[in-house]
């Protein structure tokens, strides 16, 4: 029953809504993600090379630095789905699925950009002193709907316990058991201790650890994938041809167009791309809401880079490594990955990949804790966050021990339902999140954000007056 409900939620309607919103925003911004990619890189990675003095008003001990925010958001998105999930997508949808992953990523870049700009533009501090940022901000103050904001936050908390927590800890437990015969209770204890240490130190401790782990972890994996591709470089032209042919339903033999091949490639590629980068769910804006910067434009540009790295780089390299290696796709995804990387890691491939996948899954678990904290803080304040951290650690331990088929289904439902109010906000308010066409200075970006906030405040005042008159 739950599986059917999850399939219904993630059916064609939601896919069209997600991709249609991304296309609408891309057209409005004149495909900014394609035409200004150099400026995006200069405004993100380029700025990391320069000394920047942060705004004193945003310097707090509880918020993440820009690079910590980037690393944490990437950790929340990059998990086992970027590796095992890609292998599964290739087995179901063929090589053509890769092309449609690229399409979902390009459209998703504008979704995450808009989420972050609006999340900062409508950020408010309530009379109680509680800050409201991220999707809750533009749903509550942009759409003037506290109910939608609360519903979204509640769904986010549910998703953080399911897909963000127990599903990831279960993957860690299963991988370590298969590779090292480590009992599930041992993995549960280890996960609980490490996660407890991180969460007990708050968001800043999470950021300090993730900013080192994610770059090293991603670098080791990507170098391994590149080495596999180089080892089988002679197959690369044929694989690229296969990707583009199957993307449009063209069979490799005879050149005939097959509807089944086309449908499988589109359905699998688009859906996996959305699952991989989480664009449109609002999770990126939740993580960036915990950053120390009020510059929504910069946060939005960073979120575009995160989607590109997640899908256009990591998923693509994984797919090319699998396809060039020539391994059979008619076997379990984990086996596909292990055999693919045997040319890079030799006989140690199963163990090395188990460690890498476990660490990716654990980083996703940690990254999603930041998303959940933002939602819990909105619903219940600081005291509720403390309780959430305790429950989050307990859930991670249980995830290592329990059967998770119902959890996966419920997580899919919560994730899909998160997208609905979020996309509604993007459709109604998205035209306000104008993308820069030049390389603005930090002060220029803050000035633009200040105008957006004033405009949003004026709209809210008008709505309030109209309600009072009626």
pLDDT tens track for 194-232: 888 888 877 778 888 888 888 898 898 999 999 999 999
Q: Which residues lie closer than 8 Å to 180 by C-beta, 6 or more apart?
A: 351, 354
Q: What is the DSSP string of 378-395?
A: HHH-HHHHHHHHHHHHHH
**pLDDT for 376:** 93
Per-residue confidence at 317, pLDDT binned at 50, 70, 90? very high
Tens of pLDDT, residue by residue over 108-146, are 999 999 999 999 889 888 888 888 888 999 999 999 999
Q: Check whether 359 has a pLDDT greater than 80.
A: yes
Answer with the residue of higher pLDDT: 239 or 205. 239
Share of the chain above pLDDT 70, in %: 85
**pLDDT for 455:** 58
Per-residue confidence at 175, pLDDT binned at 50, 70, 90? confident
User: How crowded is residue 360: how many other Cβ atoms within 10 Å of its Cβ?
Assistant: 28
What average pLDDT score do residues 178-187 get?
A: 85
Q: Is the backbone of residue 30 left (phi > 0), alpha (psi -120 to 50) or beta?
A: left
Which of 126-135, 225-234, 236-245, 260-269 comes out lowest in average pLDDT? 260-269
Are 197 and 190 in contact by the 8 Å Cβ rule? The answer is no
Q: Which two tokens stand for residue 309?
A: 């790295």
What is the spatial distance between Cα 180 and Cα 187, in angstroms, rounded to a whole number?
Answer: 11
Q: Which residues lie closer than 8 Å to 110 by C-beta, 6 or more apart?
A: 22, 25, 26, 29, 32, 33, 304
Question: Positive or negative, the Cα torsion across 317, 319, 320, 324?
Answer: positive
Q: Which of 63, 85, 83 is nearest to 72 (CA)?
A: 63
Which of 194-198, 270-274, 438-442 comes out lowest in average pLDDT? 438-442
**pLDDT for 223:** 92
Q: Which of 144-158, 195-209, 295-309, 404-418 has the highest mean pLDDT?
A: 144-158
Q: Check whether 367 has a pLDDT greater than 50.
A: yes
**Which alpha helices (DSSP H) does 232-348 contain, by range?**
236-247, 259-277, 283-288, 296-307, 316-325, 333-340, 342-345
**pLDDT for 57:** 41
What average pLDDT score do residues 414-420 get?
A: 87
Q: What is the dihedral of CA 238, 244, 248, 254, to 10 degrees?
A: -20
Q: Which of 37, 90, 67, 23 is nearest to 318 (CA)?
A: 90
**pLDDT for 47:** 76
What is the Cβ-side half-sphere exposure of residue 382, based on CA atoms within 13 angstroms? 7
**pLDDT for 276:** 77
Which of 74-78, 224-228, 321-325, 454-458 comes out lowest in average pLDDT? 454-458
């Amino acid at each position: 029953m739950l599986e059917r409900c999850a399939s219904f939620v993630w059916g064609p309607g939601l896919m069209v809504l997600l991709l249609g919103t991304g296309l609408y925003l891309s057209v409005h911004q004149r495909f900014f993600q394609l035409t200004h990619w150099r400026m995006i890189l200069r405004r993100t990675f380029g700025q990391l090379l320069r000394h920047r003095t942060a705004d004193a008003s945003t310097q707090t001990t509880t918020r993440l630095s820009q690079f910590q925010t980037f690393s944490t958001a990437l950790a929340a998105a990059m998990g086992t789905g970027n590796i095992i999930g890609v292998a599964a997508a290739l087995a179901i949808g063929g090589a053509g699925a890769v092309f449609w992953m690229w399409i979902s990523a390009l459209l998703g870049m504008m979704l995450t950009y808009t989420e972050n700009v609006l999340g900062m533009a409508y950020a408010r501090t309530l009379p109680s002193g509680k800050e409201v940022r991220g999707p809750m901000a533009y749903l509550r103050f942009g759409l003037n709907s506290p109910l939608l904001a609360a519903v979204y936050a509640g769904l986010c908390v549910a998703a953080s316990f399911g897909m963000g927590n127990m599903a990831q800890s279960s993957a860690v437990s299963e991988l370590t058991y298969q590779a090292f015969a480590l009992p599930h209770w041992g993995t549960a204890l280890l996960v609980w201790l490490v996660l407890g240490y991180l969460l007990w130190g708050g968001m800043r401790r999470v950021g300090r650890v993730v900013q080192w782990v994610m770059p090293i972890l991603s670098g080791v994996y990507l170098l391994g994938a590149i080495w596999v591709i180089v080892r089988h470089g002679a197959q690369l032209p044929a694989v690229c041809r296969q990707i583009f042919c199957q993307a449009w339903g063209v069979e490799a033999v005879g050149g005939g167009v097959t509807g089944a091949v086309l449908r499988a490639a589109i359905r699998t590629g688009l859906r996996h791309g959305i699952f991989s980068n989480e664009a449109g769910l609002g999770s990126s804006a939740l993580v960036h809401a915990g950053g120390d910067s009020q510059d929504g434009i910069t946060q939005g540009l960073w979120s575009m880079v995160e989607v590109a790295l997640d899908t256009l780089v990591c998923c693509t390299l994984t797919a090319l490594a699998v396809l060039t290696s020539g391994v059979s796709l008619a076997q379990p995804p984990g086996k596909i990955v292990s055999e693919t990387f045997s040319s890079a890691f030799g006989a140690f491939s199963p163990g090395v990949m188990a460690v890498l996948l476990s660490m990716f899954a654990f980083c996703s678990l940690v990254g999603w804790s930041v998303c959940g904290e933002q939602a819990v803080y909105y619903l219940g304040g600081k005291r509720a966050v403390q309780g959430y951290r305790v429950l989050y650690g307990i859930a991670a331990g249980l995830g290592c021990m329990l059967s998770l088929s119902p959890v996966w289904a419920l997580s899919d439902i919560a994730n899909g339902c998160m997208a609905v109010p979020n996309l509604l906000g993007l459709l109604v308010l998205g035209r306000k999140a104008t993308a820069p066409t030049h390389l603005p200075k930090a002060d220029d970006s803050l000035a633009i954000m200040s105008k957006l906030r004033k405009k949003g405040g004026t709209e809210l005042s008008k709505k309030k007056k109209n309600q009072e008159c009626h």
